[in-house]
Structure 1
Protein backbone atom coordinates (compact mmCIF):
# COMPACT_ATOMS: atom_id res chain seq x y z
CA UNK A 1 0.00 0.00 0.00
CA UNK A 2 2.90 2.31 0.60
CA UNK A 3 3.60 2.39 -3.11
CA UNK A 4 0.29 4.15 -3.68
CA UNK A 5 1.76 7.37 -2.32
CA UNK A 6 5.41 8.00 -3.17
CA UNK A 7 7.10 10.39 -0.76
CA UNK A 8 9.33 13.12 -2.11
CA UNK A 9 12.76 13.80 -0.62
CA UNK A 10 12.84 16.64 1.89
CA UNK A 11 15.72 18.14 3.83
CA UNK A 12 16.41 17.08 7.43
CA UNK A 13 15.33 20.54 8.59
CA UNK A 14 12.01 20.24 6.75
CA UNK A 15 11.45 16.81 8.29
CA UNK A 16 12.13 18.16 11.78
CA UNK A 17 9.79 21.10 11.22
CA UNK A 18 7.02 18.78 10.05
CA UNK A 19 7.57 16.46 13.03
CA UNK A 20 7.29 19.39 15.43
CA UNK A 21 4.20 20.77 13.69
CA UNK A 22 2.38 17.43 13.84
CA UNK A 23 3.40 16.92 17.46
CA UNK A 24 2.11 20.40 18.33
CA UNK A 25 -1.21 19.69 16.61
CA UNK A 26 -1.56 16.41 18.49
CA UNK A 27 -0.70 17.86 21.90
CA UNK A 28 -2.68 21.09 21.53
CA UNK A 29 -5.71 20.05 19.46
CA UNK A 30 -5.75 16.23 19.97
CA UNK A 31 -5.79 15.46 16.25
CA UNK A 32 -3.15 12.91 15.32
CA UNK A 33 -1.66 13.18 11.82
CA UNK A 34 1.73 11.75 12.77
CA UNK A 35 1.05 8.50 10.93
CA UNK A 36 0.01 10.10 7.65
CA UNK A 37 2.16 9.67 4.53
CA UNK A 38 4.96 12.20 4.71
CA UNK A 39 5.24 13.31 1.11
CA UNK A 40 1.57 14.12 0.85
CA UNK A 41 1.65 16.01 4.16
CA UNK A 42 4.68 18.05 3.11
CA UNK A 43 2.98 19.15 -0.10
CA UNK A 44 -0.25 20.06 1.67
CA UNK A 45 1.55 21.99 4.38
CA UNK A 46 3.50 23.90 1.73
CA UNK A 47 0.16 24.98 0.26
CA UNK A 48 -1.04 25.88 3.76
CA UNK A 49 2.03 28.09 4.28
CA UNK A 50 1.20 29.93 1.06
CA UNK A 51 -2.43 30.34 2.14
CA UNK A 52 -1.55 31.76 5.55
CA UNK A 53 1.47 33.79 4.42
CA UNK A 54 3.98 31.75 6.46
CA UNK A 55 7.59 31.47 5.34
CA UNK A 56 8.17 28.13 7.10
CA UNK A 57 6.42 25.30 8.93
CA UNK A 58 7.90 26.65 12.15
CA UNK A 59 6.08 29.94 11.61
CA UNK A 60 2.90 28.04 10.76
CA UNK A 61 3.23 26.09 14.00
CA UNK A 62 3.74 29.27 16.03
CA UNK A 63 0.56 30.82 14.67
CA UNK A 64 -1.52 27.65 14.98
CA UNK A 65 -0.80 27.33 18.69
CA UNK A 66 -2.25 30.78 19.26
CA UNK A 67 -5.17 30.82 16.83
CA UNK A 68 -7.76 27.99 17.05
CA UNK A 69 -9.76 29.53 14.19
CA UNK A 70 -6.72 29.15 11.96
CA UNK A 71 -6.50 25.46 12.87
CA UNK A 72 -10.12 24.94 11.83
CA UNK A 73 -9.18 26.19 8.35
CA UNK A 74 -5.96 24.17 8.32
CA UNK A 75 -8.03 21.00 8.68
CA UNK A 76 -9.01 21.54 5.06
CA UNK A 77 -5.35 21.08 4.12
CA UNK A 78 -4.67 18.20 6.50
CA UNK A 79 -7.57 16.10 5.27
CA UNK A 80 -8.45 15.13 1.71
CA UNK A 81 -12.14 15.53 0.86
CA UNK A 82 -12.11 14.59 -2.83
CA UNK A 83 -14.69 12.07 -3.97
CA UNK A 84 -17.76 11.66 -6.15
CA UNK A 85 -20.95 9.67 -5.98
CA UNK A 86 -20.67 6.10 -7.26
CA UNK A 87 -16.96 6.68 -7.85
CA UNK A 88 -15.51 3.63 -9.63
CA UNK A 89 -18.93 2.35 -10.76
CA UNK A 90 -17.66 -1.22 -11.11
CA UNK A 91 -17.12 -1.31 -7.34
CA UNK A 92 -20.76 -0.41 -6.69
CA UNK A 93 -21.93 -2.84 -9.36
CA UNK A 94 -19.98 -5.59 -7.58
CA UNK A 95 -21.60 -4.61 -4.29
CA UNK A 96 -25.03 -4.67 -5.92
CA UNK A 97 -24.61 -7.96 -7.75
CA UNK A 98 -22.24 -9.96 -5.55
CA UNK A 99 -22.34 -8.59 -1.99
CA UNK A 100 -26.00 -7.62 -1.59
CA UNK A 101 -27.25 -11.23 -1.97
CA UNK A 102 -25.16 -12.13 1.09
CA UNK A 103 -26.27 -9.05 3.00
CA UNK A 104 -29.89 -10.07 2.49
CA UNK A 105 -29.29 -13.07 4.76
CA UNK A 106 -28.87 -10.84 7.85
CA UNK A 107 -32.07 -9.63 9.53
CA UNK A 108 -30.46 -6.27 10.33
CA UNK A 109 -27.42 -4.53 8.90
CA UNK A 110 -24.83 -2.02 10.02
CA UNK A 111 -22.60 -0.27 7.49
CA UNK A 112 -19.54 1.71 8.55
CA UNK A 113 -18.36 4.33 6.04
CA UNK A 114 -14.95 5.26 7.46
CA UNK A 115 -13.63 8.52 6.06
CA UNK A 116 -16.96 9.59 4.60
CA UNK A 117 -15.61 13.02 3.54
CA UNK A 118 -18.42 15.25 2.25
CA UNK A 119 -20.87 12.37 2.01
CA UNK A 120 -20.58 11.18 -1.58
CA UNK A 121 -19.85 7.59 -0.53
CA UNK A 122 -22.69 7.56 2.00
CA UNK A 123 -25.34 8.81 -0.43
CA UNK A 124 -24.13 6.30 -3.01
CA UNK A 125 -24.60 3.43 -0.56
CA UNK A 126 -27.89 4.77 0.81
CA UNK A 127 -29.32 4.96 -2.71
CA UNK A 128 -27.98 1.51 -3.61
CA UNK A 129 -29.46 -0.01 -0.43
CA UNK A 130 -32.82 1.68 -1.12
CA UNK A 131 -32.86 0.34 -4.67
CA UNK A 132 -32.03 -3.16 -3.41
CA UNK A 133 -34.65 -3.11 -0.65
CA UNK A 134 -32.18 -3.13 2.25
CA UNK A 135 -32.53 0.44 3.50
CA UNK A 136 -35.19 -0.23 6.15
CA UNK A 137 -33.03 -2.81 7.94
CA UNK A 138 -29.76 -0.84 7.76
CA UNK A 139 -28.03 1.71 9.98
CA UNK A 140 -25.22 3.69 8.34
CA UNK A 141 -22.36 4.95 10.50
CA UNK A 142 -20.67 7.81 8.64
CA UNK A 143 -17.41 8.88 10.27
CA UNK A 144 -14.65 11.32 9.46
CA UNK A 145 -11.96 13.22 11.31
CA UNK A 146 -13.15 16.56 9.91
CA UNK A 147 -16.15 18.28 11.56
CA UNK A 148 -16.55 20.53 8.50
CA UNK A 149 -16.74 17.54 6.17
CA UNK A 150 -19.32 15.84 8.39
CA UNK A 151 -21.46 18.97 8.37
CA UNK A 152 -21.42 18.98 4.56
CA UNK A 153 -22.22 15.28 4.46
CA UNK A 154 -25.20 15.74 6.76
CA UNK A 155 -26.47 18.69 4.70
CA UNK A 156 -26.43 16.60 1.51
CA UNK A 157 -25.97 19.51 -0.90
CA UNK A 158 -23.70 19.19 -3.94
CA UNK A 159 -22.84 21.55 -6.78
CA UNK A 160 -25.12 21.10 -9.78
CA UNK A 161 -22.19 20.88 -12.19
CA UNK A 162 -21.14 17.64 -10.49
CA UNK A 163 -24.50 15.94 -10.96
CA UNK A 164 -23.92 14.88 -14.58
CA UNK A 165 -20.90 12.81 -13.52
CA UNK A 166 -22.78 11.42 -10.52
CA UNK A 167 -25.66 10.45 -12.80
CA UNK A 168 -23.40 8.67 -15.28
CA UNK A 169 -21.64 6.81 -12.46
CA UNK A 170 -24.98 5.75 -10.98
CA UNK A 171 -26.12 4.40 -14.35
CA UNK A 172 -22.88 2.45 -14.85
CA UNK A 173 -23.16 1.01 -11.34
CA UNK A 174 -26.43 -0.71 -12.29
CA UNK A 175 -28.78 1.90 -10.83
CA UNK A 176 -32.41 0.83 -10.94
CA UNK A 177 -33.86 4.32 -11.21
CA UNK A 178 -32.86 7.84 -12.17
CA UNK A 179 -30.53 9.67 -9.80
CA UNK A 180 -32.82 12.68 -10.18
CA UNK A 181 -35.40 10.79 -8.12
CA UNK A 182 -33.23 11.40 -5.06
CA UNK A 183 -32.51 15.13 -5.18
CA UNK A 184 -34.09 18.52 -5.80
CA UNK A 185 -32.30 21.33 -7.59
CA UNK A 186 -32.38 24.50 -5.50
CA UNK A 187 -30.17 27.51 -4.78
CA UNK A 188 -27.61 26.47 -7.36
CA UNK A 189 -27.14 23.05 -5.81
CA UNK A 190 -28.61 19.55 -5.72
CA UNK A 191 -30.22 18.89 -2.34
CA UNK A 192 -30.49 15.16 -1.66
CA UNK A 193 -33.65 13.81 -0.07
CA UNK A 194 -33.38 14.00 3.71
CA UNK A 195 -35.09 10.60 3.95
CA UNK A 196 -31.78 9.10 2.76
CA UNK A 197 -30.26 10.32 6.05
CA UNK A 198 -33.04 8.93 8.25
CA UNK A 199 -31.00 5.85 9.16
CA UNK A 200 -27.57 7.52 9.22
CA UNK A 201 -25.39 8.50 12.16
CA UNK A 202 -22.68 11.11 11.49
CA UNK A 203 -19.82 11.16 13.99
CA UNK A 204 -16.23 12.30 14.36
CA UNK A 205 -13.83 9.36 14.44
CA UNK A 206 -10.08 9.14 13.93
CA UNK A 207 -8.59 5.94 12.56
CA UNK A 208 -5.33 7.05 14.17
CA UNK A 209 -6.55 7.29 17.77
CA UNK A 210 -10.11 6.02 18.23
CA UNK A 211 -11.41 2.49 18.69
CA UNK A 212 -14.16 0.35 17.17
CA UNK A 213 -17.64 1.50 18.18
CA UNK A 214 -20.02 -0.82 16.27
CA UNK A 215 -20.29 -4.30 14.80
CA UNK A 216 -20.83 -4.12 11.05
CA UNK A 217 -21.65 -6.35 8.11
CA UNK A 218 -20.00 -3.96 5.64
CA UNK A 219 -17.12 -1.52 6.06
CA UNK A 220 -16.47 0.78 3.11
CA UNK A 221 -13.32 2.89 3.44
CA UNK A 222 -12.09 3.86 0.02
CA UNK A 223 -9.07 6.02 -0.81
CA UNK A 224 -8.31 6.66 2.85
CA UNK A 225 -5.44 4.26 3.48
CA UNK A 226 -3.34 5.74 0.67
CA UNK A 227 -2.77 8.80 2.86
CA UNK A 228 -1.44 6.71 5.79
CA UNK A 229 1.99 5.25 6.44
CA UNK A 230 2.33 1.48 6.85
CA UNK A 231 1.85 1.49 10.64
CA UNK A 232 -1.34 3.54 10.48
CA UNK A 233 -2.65 1.47 7.59
CA UNK A 234 -2.30 -1.62 9.76
CA UNK A 235 -4.04 0.08 12.66
CA UNK A 236 -6.98 1.04 10.46
CA UNK A 237 -7.26 -2.43 8.96
CA UNK A 238 -7.20 -3.89 12.47
CA UNK A 239 -10.15 -1.67 13.40
CA UNK A 240 -12.03 -2.75 10.30
CA UNK A 241 -11.38 -6.40 11.11
CA UNK A 242 -12.51 -5.96 14.71
CA UNK A 243 -15.67 -4.20 13.56
CA UNK A 244 -16.70 -6.76 10.97
CA UNK A 245 -18.77 -9.81 11.85
CA UNK A 246 -17.47 -13.10 10.54
CA UNK A 247 -18.45 -13.21 6.90
CA UNK A 248 -18.72 -9.40 6.74
CA UNK A 249 -17.32 -7.42 3.84
CA UNK A 250 -14.59 -4.79 3.50
CA UNK A 251 -14.39 -2.46 0.52
CA UNK A 252 -11.19 -0.51 -0.20
CA UNK A 253 -10.13 1.94 -2.90
CA UNK A 254 -8.77 0.98 -6.30
CA UNK A 255 -5.16 1.69 -5.25
CA UNK A 256 -5.41 -0.03 -1.87
CA UNK A 257 -4.84 -3.65 -0.91
CA UNK A 258 -4.60 -5.95 2.08
CA UNK A 259 -1.64 -7.79 0.59
CA UNK A 260 1.10 -6.31 2.77
CA UNK A 261 -0.95 -5.93 5.95
CA UNK A 262 -0.29 -7.92 9.11
CA UNK A 263 -4.04 -8.59 9.10
CA UNK A 264 -4.21 -10.04 5.59
CA UNK A 265 -4.83 -13.59 6.83
CA UNK A 266 -8.02 -12.45 8.56
CA UNK A 267 -9.59 -11.67 5.17
CA UNK A 268 -10.26 -13.57 1.98
CA UNK A 269 -10.48 -12.15 -1.52
CA UNK A 270 -14.12 -11.82 -2.55
CA UNK A 271 -13.97 -9.55 -5.59
CA UNK A 272 -10.25 -8.84 -5.67
CA UNK A 273 -10.43 -6.76 -8.84
CA UNK A 274 -12.76 -4.33 -7.08
CA UNK A 275 -10.88 -4.52 -3.76
CA UNK A 276 -13.72 -6.23 -1.89
CA UNK A 277 -12.68 -8.65 0.83
CA UNK A 278 -14.53 -10.92 3.24
CA UNK A 279 -13.77 -11.37 6.93
CA UNK A 280 -12.92 -15.01 7.48
CA UNK A 281 -12.71 -17.13 10.63
CA UNK A 282 -9.05 -16.38 11.44
CA UNK A 283 -8.53 -14.92 14.87
CA UNK A 284 -7.65 -11.25 14.39
CA UNK A 285 -5.41 -10.98 17.46
CA UNK A 286 -3.55 -14.15 16.60
CA UNK A 287 -3.00 -12.82 13.11
CA UNK A 288 -1.77 -9.49 14.45
CA UNK A 289 0.70 -11.17 16.79
CA UNK A 290 2.07 -13.55 14.15
Structure 2
Protein backbone atom coordinates (compact mmCIF):
# COMPACT_ATOMS: atom_id res chain seq x y z
CA UNK A 1 0.00 0.00 0.00
CA UNK A 2 1.35 3.39 -0.98
CA UNK A 3 1.92 5.79 1.97
CA UNK A 4 -0.31 8.50 0.46
CA UNK A 5 -3.19 6.02 0.15
CA UNK A 6 -2.69 4.81 3.72
CA UNK A 7 -2.72 8.39 5.03
CA UNK A 8 -5.92 9.09 3.08
CA UNK A 9 -7.52 6.02 4.67
CA UNK A 10 -6.36 7.24 8.08
CA UNK A 11 -7.90 10.68 7.58
CA UNK A 12 -11.19 9.08 6.52
CA UNK A 13 -11.12 6.76 9.54
CA UNK A 14 -10.45 9.63 11.97
CA UNK A 15 -13.29 11.64 10.43
CA UNK A 16 -15.59 8.64 10.76
CA UNK A 17 -14.62 8.25 14.44
CA UNK A 18 -15.35 11.92 15.06
CA UNK A 19 -18.73 11.81 13.31
CA UNK A 20 -19.82 8.50 14.87
CA UNK A 21 -18.35 8.64 18.39
CA UNK A 22 -17.37 12.32 18.88
CA UNK A 23 -13.74 11.53 19.69
CA UNK A 24 -11.46 13.87 17.79
CA UNK A 25 -8.06 12.49 16.73
CA UNK A 26 -7.96 14.50 13.50
CA UNK A 27 -5.21 16.81 14.71
CA UNK A 28 -3.01 14.19 16.30
CA UNK A 29 0.43 13.86 14.72
CA UNK A 30 -0.04 11.67 11.66
CA UNK A 31 3.15 9.64 12.19
CA UNK A 32 2.05 8.68 15.71
CA UNK A 33 -1.50 7.82 14.60
CA UNK A 34 -0.21 5.76 11.67
CA UNK A 35 2.07 3.75 13.95
CA UNK A 36 -0.71 3.02 16.43
CA UNK A 37 -3.24 2.09 13.75
CA UNK A 38 -0.83 -0.35 12.14
CA UNK A 39 -0.48 -2.00 15.55
CA UNK A 40 -4.28 -2.04 15.85
CA UNK A 41 -4.65 -3.80 12.48
CA UNK A 42 -2.64 -6.72 13.82
CA UNK A 43 -4.27 -6.76 17.24
CA UNK A 44 -7.82 -6.44 15.89
CA UNK A 45 -7.25 -8.81 12.96
CA UNK A 46 -8.06 -6.33 10.18
CA UNK A 47 -6.47 -6.41 6.74
CA UNK A 48 -6.63 -2.66 6.03
CA UNK A 49 -7.46 0.73 7.50
CA UNK A 50 -10.61 0.83 5.34
CA UNK A 51 -11.64 -2.55 6.72
CA UNK A 52 -11.09 -1.24 10.24
CA UNK A 53 -13.26 1.77 9.45
CA UNK A 54 -16.11 -0.48 8.33
CA UNK A 55 -15.95 -2.50 11.53
CA UNK A 56 -15.81 0.66 13.69
CA UNK A 57 -18.87 2.15 11.98
CA UNK A 58 -21.01 -1.00 12.19
CA UNK A 59 -19.84 -2.59 15.45
CA UNK A 60 -19.90 -0.21 18.44
CA UNK A 61 -18.18 -2.86 20.58
CA UNK A 62 -15.11 -2.56 18.38
CA UNK A 63 -14.49 1.11 19.08
CA UNK A 64 -13.40 0.76 22.74
CA UNK A 65 -10.85 -1.81 21.60
CA UNK A 66 -9.47 0.59 19.00
CA UNK A 67 -9.45 3.44 21.53
CA UNK A 68 -6.96 1.49 23.64
CA UNK A 69 -4.52 1.70 20.73
CA UNK A 70 -5.16 5.38 19.99
CA UNK A 71 -4.65 6.66 23.53
CA UNK A 72 -1.39 6.57 25.49
CA UNK A 73 -1.46 4.41 28.63
CA UNK A 74 2.22 4.11 29.57
CA UNK A 75 2.86 5.59 33.00
CA UNK A 76 4.02 4.86 36.57
CA UNK A 77 3.68 6.32 40.01
CA UNK A 78 6.22 9.17 40.19
CA UNK A 79 7.27 8.65 36.58
CA UNK A 80 10.35 10.83 35.95
CA UNK A 81 11.15 11.16 39.69
CA UNK A 82 13.52 14.08 39.09
CA UNK A 83 10.50 16.06 37.94
CA UNK A 84 8.60 15.33 41.16
CA UNK A 85 11.69 16.15 43.21
CA UNK A 86 11.88 19.59 41.55
CA UNK A 87 8.15 20.00 42.09
CA UNK A 88 8.48 19.18 45.77
CA UNK A 89 11.40 21.53 46.35
CA UNK A 90 10.54 24.53 44.19
CA UNK A 91 6.81 24.54 43.43
CA UNK A 92 5.10 23.08 46.49
CA UNK A 93 6.38 25.84 48.84
CA UNK A 94 4.61 28.38 46.60
CA UNK A 95 1.46 26.27 46.37
CA UNK A 96 1.43 26.16 50.17
CA UNK A 97 0.75 29.92 50.23
CA UNK A 98 -2.73 29.43 48.70
CA UNK A 99 -5.66 28.91 51.11
CA UNK A 100 -7.05 26.21 48.81
CA UNK A 101 -5.70 24.42 45.75
CA UNK A 102 -7.06 23.02 42.51
CA UNK A 103 -4.92 20.96 40.15
CA UNK A 104 -5.75 19.72 36.66
CA UNK A 105 -4.04 16.53 35.46
CA UNK A 106 -4.82 16.47 31.72
CA UNK A 107 -4.42 13.13 29.98
CA UNK A 108 -4.37 11.20 33.26
CA UNK A 109 -4.53 7.74 31.64
CA UNK A 110 -4.98 5.08 34.34
CA UNK A 111 -4.40 7.50 37.21
CA UNK A 112 -0.80 7.00 38.33
CA UNK A 113 0.11 10.66 37.73
CA UNK A 114 -2.85 11.94 39.72
CA UNK A 115 -2.08 9.65 42.65
CA UNK A 116 1.57 10.76 42.55
CA UNK A 117 0.48 14.37 43.01
CA UNK A 118 -1.92 13.38 45.77
CA UNK A 119 0.79 11.48 47.68
CA UNK A 120 3.26 14.36 47.36
CA UNK A 121 0.69 16.89 48.57
CA UNK A 122 -0.35 14.61 51.43
CA UNK A 123 3.25 14.42 52.63
CA UNK A 124 3.53 18.20 52.43
CA UNK A 125 0.34 18.69 54.46
CA UNK A 126 -1.63 20.21 51.56
CA UNK A 127 -3.94 17.42 50.40
CA UNK A 128 -6.80 18.27 52.75
CA UNK A 129 -7.22 21.65 51.03
CA UNK A 130 -6.68 20.35 47.51
CA UNK A 131 -9.02 19.14 44.77
CA UNK A 132 -7.41 17.32 41.85
CA UNK A 133 -9.23 17.12 38.53
CA UNK A 134 -7.87 14.21 36.49
CA UNK A 135 -9.18 14.01 32.93
CA UNK A 136 -8.83 11.74 29.92
CA UNK A 137 -10.77 10.77 26.79
CA UNK A 138 -10.61 7.02 27.42
CA UNK A 139 -13.53 5.84 29.56
CA UNK A 140 -11.89 2.49 30.31
CA UNK A 141 -8.74 4.23 31.55
CA UNK A 142 -10.84 6.54 33.73
CA UNK A 143 -12.65 3.57 35.31
CA UNK A 144 -9.32 1.93 36.11
CA UNK A 145 -7.96 5.21 37.47
CA UNK A 146 -10.96 5.72 39.72
CA UNK A 147 -10.60 2.19 41.09
CA UNK A 148 -6.94 2.92 41.91
CA UNK A 149 -5.92 -0.74 41.65
CA UNK A 150 -2.44 -1.65 40.39
CA UNK A 151 -0.63 -4.98 40.10
CA UNK A 152 1.73 -5.85 42.92
CA UNK A 153 4.50 -6.67 40.45
CA UNK A 154 4.63 -2.95 39.57
CA UNK A 155 5.28 -1.86 43.15
CA UNK A 156 9.05 -2.30 43.06
CA UNK A 157 9.34 0.36 40.34
CA UNK A 158 6.79 2.56 42.10
CA UNK A 159 8.82 2.43 45.33
CA UNK A 160 12.10 3.22 43.55
CA UNK A 161 10.48 6.20 41.83
CA UNK A 162 8.93 7.42 45.08
CA UNK A 163 12.25 7.38 46.92
CA UNK A 164 14.07 9.15 44.07
CA UNK A 165 11.30 11.77 44.04
CA UNK A 166 12.06 12.71 47.66
CA UNK A 167 9.46 10.54 49.33
CA UNK A 168 9.48 11.23 53.04
CA UNK A 169 8.16 7.99 54.47
CA UNK A 170 6.82 4.71 53.15
CA UNK A 171 4.78 4.40 49.98
CA UNK A 172 2.92 1.65 51.81
CA UNK A 173 1.20 4.34 53.88
CA UNK A 174 -0.88 5.20 50.81
CA UNK A 175 -2.20 1.81 49.69
CA UNK A 176 -3.29 -1.54 51.03
CA UNK A 177 -2.39 -4.82 49.35
CA UNK A 178 -4.26 -8.04 48.73
CA UNK A 179 -2.94 -11.20 47.09
CA UNK A 180 -2.41 -9.66 43.66
CA UNK A 181 -2.97 -5.90 43.78
CA UNK A 182 -2.26 -2.66 45.56
CA UNK A 183 -5.31 -0.45 46.13
CA UNK A 184 -4.75 3.28 46.62
CA UNK A 185 -6.07 4.64 49.89
CA UNK A 186 -9.44 6.29 50.29
CA UNK A 187 -7.64 9.39 51.61
CA UNK A 188 -6.14 9.89 48.16
CA UNK A 189 -9.15 8.87 46.09
CA UNK A 190 -11.57 11.22 47.80
CA UNK A 191 -9.46 14.23 46.75
CA UNK A 192 -9.41 13.29 43.04
CA UNK A 193 -12.27 13.78 40.58
CA UNK A 194 -11.83 11.69 37.43
CA UNK A 195 -13.75 12.97 34.40
CA UNK A 196 -13.97 12.71 30.63
CA UNK A 197 -12.42 15.68 28.82
CA UNK A 198 -10.98 16.16 25.35
CA UNK A 199 -8.28 18.74 24.72
CA UNK A 200 -9.36 18.69 21.06
CA UNK A 201 -13.00 19.70 21.57
CA UNK A 202 -13.82 20.68 25.18
CA UNK A 203 -13.32 23.93 27.08
CA UNK A 204 -12.00 24.71 30.56
CA UNK A 205 -14.11 23.91 33.61
CA UNK A 206 -12.39 25.64 36.55
CA UNK A 207 -9.61 28.00 37.56
CA UNK A 208 -6.63 26.03 38.86
CA UNK A 209 -3.24 26.73 40.39
CA UNK A 210 -1.42 23.99 38.49
CA UNK A 211 -1.90 22.10 35.22
CA UNK A 212 0.08 18.94 34.54
CA UNK A 213 -0.01 17.59 31.00
CA UNK A 214 3.13 15.56 30.60
CA UNK A 215 3.95 13.53 27.51
CA UNK A 216 0.64 14.26 25.78
CA UNK A 217 1.38 17.24 23.53
CA UNK A 218 4.07 15.31 21.65
CA UNK A 219 1.26 13.31 20.02
CA UNK A 220 -0.58 16.45 18.77
CA UNK A 221 0.05 18.48 15.65
CA UNK A 222 1.00 22.15 16.05
CA UNK A 223 -2.57 23.45 15.80
CA UNK A 224 -3.87 21.11 18.49
CA UNK A 225 -0.85 21.86 20.70
CA UNK A 226 -1.75 25.55 20.46
CA UNK A 227 -5.35 24.81 21.36
CA UNK A 228 -4.32 22.81 24.43
CA UNK A 229 -1.82 25.43 25.61
CA UNK A 230 -4.50 28.09 25.18
CA UNK A 231 -6.84 26.08 27.42
CA UNK A 232 -4.14 25.71 30.04
CA UNK A 233 -3.40 29.45 29.99
CA UNK A 234 -7.11 30.23 30.44
CA UNK A 235 -7.50 27.72 33.27
CA UNK A 236 -4.45 28.85 35.25
CA UNK A 237 -4.68 31.59 37.82
CA UNK A 238 -2.11 34.41 37.53
CA UNK A 239 1.36 32.96 38.15
CA UNK A 240 -0.08 29.45 38.09
CA UNK A 241 2.12 26.51 37.11
CA UNK A 242 2.18 24.47 33.90
CA UNK A 243 4.06 21.16 33.90
CA UNK A 244 4.98 19.48 30.60
CA UNK A 245 6.96 16.41 29.58
CA UNK A 246 10.69 16.36 28.99
CA UNK A 247 10.30 16.56 25.19
CA UNK A 248 7.63 19.28 25.28
CA UNK A 249 7.81 23.06 25.40
CA UNK A 250 5.75 26.20 24.89
CA UNK A 251 8.49 27.58 22.60
CA UNK A 252 7.28 28.34 19.07
CA UNK A 253 3.64 28.00 20.14
CA UNK A 254 1.05 30.74 19.71
CA UNK A 255 1.00 31.08 23.52
CA UNK A 256 4.74 31.23 24.16
CA UNK A 257 4.54 34.77 25.57
CA UNK A 258 1.95 33.69 28.16
CA UNK A 259 4.41 31.44 29.99
CA UNK A 260 7.82 31.78 31.60
CA UNK A 261 10.01 28.75 32.26
CA UNK A 262 11.21 28.28 35.82
CA UNK A 263 14.85 27.47 36.42
CA UNK A 264 14.16 24.00 37.78
CA UNK A 265 15.88 21.95 35.11
CA UNK A 266 12.43 20.49 34.35
CA UNK A 267 9.65 21.63 32.01
CA UNK A 268 7.82 23.69 34.61
CA UNK A 269 6.41 27.08 33.54
CA UNK A 270 4.45 29.90 35.16
CA UNK A 271 1.64 31.80 33.54
CA UNK A 272 2.46 35.46 33.09
CA UNK A 273 0.10 38.32 32.20
Class of the TM-score when normalised by the shorter of the 2 chains:
over 0.9
1:205 and 2:197 aligned: yes
The residue that corresponds to 1:130 in the other structure is: 122
Q: TM-score, normalised by structure 1?
A: 0.92
The residue that corresponds to 1:80 in the other structure is: 72
1:271 and 2:263 aligned: yes
Tell me, what secondary structure is at the counterpart of 2:61? helix
The residue that corresponds to 2:226 in the other structure is: 234
Q: Deviations over 1:142-183 (max 9, x none)?
A: 000000010011011111111111111111111111111111
Cα distance in 1 between the residues matched to 2:142 and 2:186:
15
Query: How far is 1:187 from its partner?
Result: 3.6
1:222 and 2:240 aligned: no
1:244 and 2:225 aligned: no
CA contact (8 A) 1:86 1:173 kept: yes
Cα distance in 2 between the residues matched to 1:158 and 1:28:
33
Tell me, what secondary structure is at the counterpart of 1:273? coil
The residue that corresponds to 2:5 in the other structure is: 13
Q: TM-score, normalised by structure 2?
A: 0.98
Q: Which of 183, 186, 190 is equivalent to 2:182?
A: 190
The residue that corresponds to 2:33 in the other structure is: 41
CA contact (8 A) 1:218 1:250 kept: yes
* 4+ long deviations beyond 6 Å: none
Cα distance in 1 between the residues matched to 2:224 and 2:268:
20
Cα distance in 1 between the residues matched to 2:260 and 2:123:
27
Count of matched residue positions in the alignment of Structure 1 and Structure 2: 272
Q: How does 1:43-192 map to 2 (within 5 A)?
A: 43-192=35-184
| RMSD of equivalent CA atoms | 0.9
Query: CA distance change for structure 1 residues 272 and 96 in 2, over 3 Å: closer, same or farther?
Result: closer
CA contact (8 A) 2:86 2:264 kept: no
Q: Which 5+ residue runs of structure 1 have no aligned equivalent?
A: 1-9, 282-290
Cα distance in 1 between the residues matched to 2:264 and 2:203:
27
Query: How far is 1:273 from its partner?
Result: 2.1
Cα distance in 2 between the residues matched to 1:16 and 1:185:
48
Cα distance in 2 between the residues matched to 1:90 and 1:192:
23
Cα distance in 2 between the residues matched to 1:270 and 1:141:
23
Tell me, what secondary structure is at the counterpart of 2:103? strand
